[in-house]
Chain A
Amino acid sequence: MTINPIHLEKLKKILGSEGWIDDQTDMPSFLREPRDKYQGNTPLILMPDSTEKTAEIVRYCAQNKIPLVPQGGNSGLVGGAIPTGEILLSLKRLKAIRQQDARNLTITVEAGCILSHIQELAQEMNCLFPLSLAAEGSCMIGGNISTNAGGVNVLHYGNMRNLVLGLEVVLPNGETWHGLGGLRKDNTGYDLKQLFIGAEGSLGIITAATLKLSPHPHEKQTAFVAVPDPDAAVNLLSIARNISGDCLTAFEIIPRLGIDMVTDNIPGSRDPMTQTYDWYILLEGTSSLSRDLLDLEAVMERILSTGLDDGLILDGVIAKNITESNNLWQLRENLSEAQKFEGGSIKHDISVPISAIPAFLIEAGMAVETSIPGARPVPFGHLGDGNLHYNISQPKHMARQAFLDQWESLNQSVHDVVDKFNGSFSAEHGIGRMKTDDMLRYKSKVEMAMMTKIKHTLDPHNIMNPGVIVRK
């Protein structure tokens, strides 16, 4: 695809000299995806600093049928923000804080605000913005919304969809929908914002959002326990929920192989226990009640002692301060990084009903061993949400590339098992350009037809992130 240079010049004019990049030497960080699976190319990066300028660009592109790829922090993992010749529209300069309203428990921010910055602002308001994930220092709220991001707090607070009260969106024809506002109840017709949440930029450009805040938690308890197997882990989850009700905010599973990889490869990390076990759970309880009203430590101890008595827990530790809590989380957060030292890794981001996880793990393990004998699954992640990062490290002595060449075929073997358990082949990272084949394979005709019709209705010329989610 080539775009007429006259158009490029006109688009640059709209933004002025601060607002674009056309020198290829300044582009690499925009065009590389975090796992190096995609190398993009574009003739021009546009960086508007207001909704009006964004709308002006889109209007021009709509009139001239010029395709656009929106991008936030470029931390997405499915190639959705990587252009293949289209113009790249970066939201990074759209970063004003429009409104902070502690009494309404809301904050209104522009799309280019970095997630960790929003978390800090919420904290200054004595509130919490609960979305939290490993990329929070670089991902932007527009990207989080567009991917309906999940992360480590979904168990209690829900994913991005549950945290958005209003949106401002530039539509593919250049019109702006002013849908901001801090309403928790609004049954006036279709809930349009839901259409753009998780749309990965295929239906329009999110320029600002009103986000729902929560009261700030006062107390946190982090524990790391060894469990005999995933079945025990699922039973422990039930116990934890029965005892703690709303307080359980994280429940992450990690296999022994994952702990080995982290302690072997990440300096400063150590196994919290003296013996080794097959499976671990990182669980966390959080409470917004002040300490004198709720003894969260006692709650955590009740969960763990019940687990011990029932044989669901073999051993464990409770963090005695925030440093230890952070270190336990580092074991979890460093899993992907640690896998890089173990050769190639083929990733899956799947979900199945929580109760089906033990059976899924057995069947998926068999499917992997059949496809690539010796391949080493490191299934870890948000067990409490039924979401596993089913990542597979290469067999010890296989050539890295020979293993990675099997990416698609191994994906299919695993996704077939996921499908059998009525699961999802993309639980939180989305479809992007990576999983459009899976869409055709696993989604029903009726479902695909609805999605395609929605896409065509809003974006008849297919200029808004073409090729993402629905192919044409």
Chain B
Amino acid sequence: MKILVPVKRVIDYNVKVRVKADNTGVELANVKMSMNPFDEIAVEEALRIKEAGNAEEIIVVSIGPAQAQETLRTALAMGADRAILVKTDDLVEPLAVAKILKAIVAEETPELVILGKQAIDDDCNQTGQMLAALLEWPQGTFASEVKLGEGTVNVTREVDGGLETVKLTLPAVVTADLRLNEPRYASLPNIMKAKRKPLDTKEPSDYGVDTARRLTTLKVEEPAKRASGIIVENIAELVTKLRDEAGVI
């Protein structure tokens, strides 16, 4: 079978994000961009399934600007087989992403789509679920373990109360949580090989999808700064402060 893994180019997890002076968004100029960490986990899981002999091909796809090619090359360097860039400079919302992915699924006929549970830039946590709904496929979200069976996949989910295991009939959509696996490093020989792997470039219109935004961002602001702590001299002072200033006792 084939596995499709969508990957998104986002601000690196370790970058301290700065809001633009005019409050229209966050500063992206000269900021380090990397693959969304949850997508990296999704790629790793697909690779492990392939290495276990349960898949033949891994196709990675990214919807974004020309530079998203680098993100795809990273996935190829990890071991994915080929890549599709759906090039657009628009900010594409989860529903439009899901529609494009649906069209790609129709073309590529994978039996499994593994996505990250959310992207760390907009934190939407919607694409996987929307895609499953559009495809009318079963979904296993927030996966911490994925086990393939005969025409099925068992997905252990991280839910509020603990762990829940669901059995899905393939084809299915799975979204990866943090504890699913620890992604591998891209090895030097594989980085070199990745340069020769196929990378197709498409546009949203190729899939008949309109990426116009349906949401309007009113304003982007920094979260309120936390006031710095104080050091109290003794327990009596602590009690006084808790009672008189914090009003909690």
Contact = CB atoms under 8 A, between A and B. Distances in A.
A320 B14 contact: no
A316 B188 contact: yes
Interface in B56-94: 70, 74, 77-78
Given A219-B32, A291-B30, A323-B37, A318 B14 contact: no
A308 interface: yes
B186 A318 contact: yes
B74 A305 contact: no
Given A290-B30, A323-B13, A326-B14, A318 B188 contact: yes
Nearest to A326: B14
Interface string A302-323: 0011001000010111111111
A317 B192 contact: no
Contact of A317 (B14, B37, B182, B186): B186
A225 B12 contact: no
Contacts of A301: 191-192
- Chain A contact residues, majority secondary structure: mixed
Interface residues of B, number: 23
Nearest to A274: B187
Contact of A320 (B30, B74, B189, B192): B74
A40 B151 CA distance: 71
Nearest to A218: B30
B41 interface: no
Interface in B111-160: none
B181 interface: no
B106 interface: no
B187 A322 contact: no
Contacts of A229: none
A324 interface: yes
Interface string A323-343: 110100000000000000000
Interface string B17-58: 000000000000110101101001000000000000000000
Given A291-B30, A320-B35, A321-B35, A272 B185 contact: yes
A319 B70 CA distance: 13
Interface in B168-212: 182, 185-189, 191-192
A273 interface: yes
Given A273-B187, A313-B188, A315-B187, A321 B30 contact: no
B215 interface: no
Given A320-B40, A320-B74, 10 more contacts: A219-B32, A290-B29, A305-B192, A313-B188, A315-B188, A318-B186, A320-B34, A321-B14, A321-B32, A322-B12
11 contacts: A224-B185, A273-B187, A315-B187, A317-B187, A317-B188, A318-B185, A320-B34, A320-B35, A320-B40, A321-B40, A323-B37
Interface of B: 12-15, 29-30, 32, 34-35, 37, 40, 70, 74, 77-78, 182, 185-189, 191-192
